[in-house]
Chains A and B, each alone.
Chain A
């Protein structure tokens, strides 16, 4: 079956713009996670959903970051008023136990 997909794969935004990153999890996976990965670093946790409920958002770096999963499937990570420090790869993972990662969205804020 299909794995986790993310779109867009690459996004260039000017500082101050809003962006929306999409994640399509593996069908039937209950849990969905968002991670941020800086160059040369391991992924860092942002937020976690179980079905449509956002159970943990302790990793979101500021109130400019917002995530939703309204129907318990597709999820969107939104970043408002992007800053240069938001430049990173944003990874989505879905899980029923092991976490399977999507290819990520590389965000560059200029």
Chain B
């Protein structure tokens, strides 16, 4: 069963912040975040392992709440280049493949 992402779409002005959420009904081993621009491959952003760690680089960070099987991606002071569709991919304890959510379409306007 695929994870549920929210919101489905968000429009920001440059410099604003956003949070994208990813929830699963299954016990998770890891959560992977990707950004995909139209017609391009998904680009790896970061991976979070169970344990509630928070990761980040520059103005993009993420957290993973193992008990709630939820992960959140935080975009701070958004830039035009952040526009695209963000996908979370989850790996459960039984497998290796990613099960992707439906995506969150993010548009950053000047």
Contact = CB atoms under 8 A, between A and B. Distances in A.
A64 to B, nearest CB: 20
A86 B42 CA distance: 20
A84 interface: no
A101 B97 contact: no
Given A99-B32, A101-B42, A42 B47 contact: no
B100 A44 contact: yes
A56 B34 CA distance: 23
25 contacts: A4-B41, A33-B97, A35-B98, A40-B103, A41-B102, A41-B103, A42-B87, A42-B101, A42-B103, A43-B87, A43-B89, A43-B100, A45-B97, A45-B98, A48-B96, A48-B97, A55-B96, A56-B97, A91-B41, A98-B32, A99-B89, A101-B34, A101-B42, A102-B41, A103-B40
